[in-house]
A and B are shown apart, each in its own frame.
Chain A
Amino acid sequence: MFCLSEMEEDALKEFFNMGLGMAAASLSQMVNNEVLLSLPQLKVVPYEEATRMLVANEEEKLVAIRQNFTGELTGTALLIFPGAEGLELVRTLLNEHMPLEVLMELEQETLQDVGNVVLNAFLESFTQMMSLQFEFEAAEFLKGSSSFLLDISSHLAAQRLSLLAEADGEEERAFVLMMDFKTHDEEEAQHTLSGFVVLLFSQYSMEVLKRELKVILATL
């Protein structure tokens, strides 16, 4: 059974914290508002449980930007907004008084741009700390339930690697790294936006990450 030592887990959380810190700084510039972050949560769970964790955290209807990455590290990064928060972000970014139908037309394109900036900033922290190469696929805009967002059959990279996991009889598992964020406006306390970031790594990538963490920790 795959597991991480306490130090390895701590190190991974710290990378995640740094990544989302950079992402929050980018998002803060875009919304011209302070973005507050929660402390990172990390779990190694089967994909199904990852779905349940998301359901437990938020309502069924979600809007997300999903960005797969492939290479030495393979997995999925998701920037998720519950319910109408996605539209709220578009409203904040574009124009407060824009009619709803216009906002809805621009929702996909705008959120894809936001997702691209946030998730890239976030994933770059991994490349800063580790000598790993990976590439990002294009960001996808998704609307639906959490199980749909995490659906392994629609996740190209995991699809390929889950075959490897099945070969040694183990259930596909994933790192689930989650952090909540919300905007904070001191003048208009009611006008806030919230969401969360989820990072899933394939089984193979988890082993790669563990190896890489060992190397880093050995130098300290």
Chain B
Amino acid sequence: MDNKTVLVVDDSSLARMMIRKIFATSFKEWQLVEAKDGDEALGLPEGRLRLALLDFNMPGMNGIELAEKLMAKYPGLAVYLVTANIQERMHQRAESMGIGFIKKPIAESKIADILKPFA
């Protein structure tokens, strides 16, 4: 069976709980790994990650800085910034790195869209 693991990094427990609930309800084939900031995420034991959902505004490194490190550590990882704050320059920088966006507030339909390539 294909192991599908998603990493969720957000300093807000509410945001993590909302994402956890969506996966537990509608996308049960995915396993969730959570971290509250970039340092914790990078310190997680190595495993096969397919997808990372990252908050942008976090203590320590921001979502784009974390994405850069994660993409080097996990080649082929699909990364999305989950944020309400989508600005032109941030968008351009993220796009040039192959990072996608999910606009907060998070919803099941938004997760469903980004999971299509994994079906």
Distance A22 CA – B57 CA, assembled complex (angstroms): 12
Task: Please give me the residue from chain B that is nearest to A22 by CB atom.
Answer: B84
Do B104 and A28 touch (CB < 8 A)? no
Do B15 and A14 touch (CB < 8 A)? yes
Do A39 and B84 touch (CB < 8 A)? no
Do B14 and A34 touch (CB < 8 A)? no
* A interface footprint on B1-37 (CB within 8 Å = 1, 0 otherwise): 0000000000111110110110000000000000000
Do B90 and A22 touch (CB < 8 A)? no
A10-B12 contact, Cβ under 8 Å, with A39-B59, A128-B105 = yes
Interface size class of B (residues with CB under 8 A): 20 to 34
Task: Please give me the residue from chain A that is nearest to B20 by CB atom.
Answer: A220
A129-B88 contact, Cβ under 8 Å, with A10-B13, A13-B12, A39-B57 = no
Do A7 and B14 touch (CB < 8 A)? yes
Contact partner of B90 (CB less than 8 A), chosen from A11, A34, A128, is A34
Interface residues of B in 52-75 (CB under 8 A from A): 56-59
| Cβ–Cβ < 8 Å partners of A220 in chain B | 14, 17-18, 20-21
CB distance from B71 to the nearest CB of A (A): 22
* A interface footprint on B67-91 (CB within 8 Å = 1, 0 otherwise): 0000000000000000111111110
A25-B87 contact, Cβ under 8 Å, with A11-B14, A17-B57, A220-B21 = yes
CB distance from B96 to the nearest CB of A (A): 14
Do A21 and B85 touch (CB < 8 A)? yes
Task: Please give me the residue from chain A that is nearest to B106 by CB atom.
Answer: A18
Main secondary structure of the interface of A (DSSP, over half): helix
Interface residues of A in 176-206 (CB under 8 A from B): none
Interface residues of B in 38-64 (CB under 8 A from A): 56-59
Q: How many residues of A contact B (CB 8 A)?
A: 26
Distance A11 CA – B14 CA, assembled complex (angstroms): 5
CB distance from A143 to the nearest CB of B (A): 29
A24-B87 contact, Cβ under 8 Å, with A10-B13, A14-B12 = yes
Contact partner of B86 (CB less than 8 A), chosen from A25, A128, A219, is A25
Task: Please give me the residue from chain A that is nearest to B12 by CB atom.
Answer: A14
CB distance from A213 to the nearest CB of B (A): 9
CB distance from B87 to the nearest CB of A (A): 4
Contact partner of A37 (CB less than 8 A), chosen from B13, B18, B85, is B85
A19-B88 contact, Cβ under 8 Å, with A14-B15, A220-B18 = no
| Cβ–Cβ < 8 Å partners of B13 in chain A | 7, 10
Task: Please give me the residue from chain B that is nearest to A37 by CB atom.
Answer: B57
Task: Please give me the residue from chain B that is nearest to A129 by CB atom.
Answer: B105
Determine if A29 is an interface residue (Cβ-Cβ < 8 Å): yes
Task: Please give me the residue from chain B that is nearest to A29 by CB atom.
Answer: B88
**Residues on B close to A: CB < 8 A?**
11-15, 17-18, 20-21, 56-59, 83-90, 104-105
The 11 listed contacts between A and B (C-beta, < 8 Å) are: A11-B14, A17-B57, A18-B104, A21-B56, A24-B87, A28-B87, A34-B88, A37-B85, A39-B59, A220-B14, A220-B18
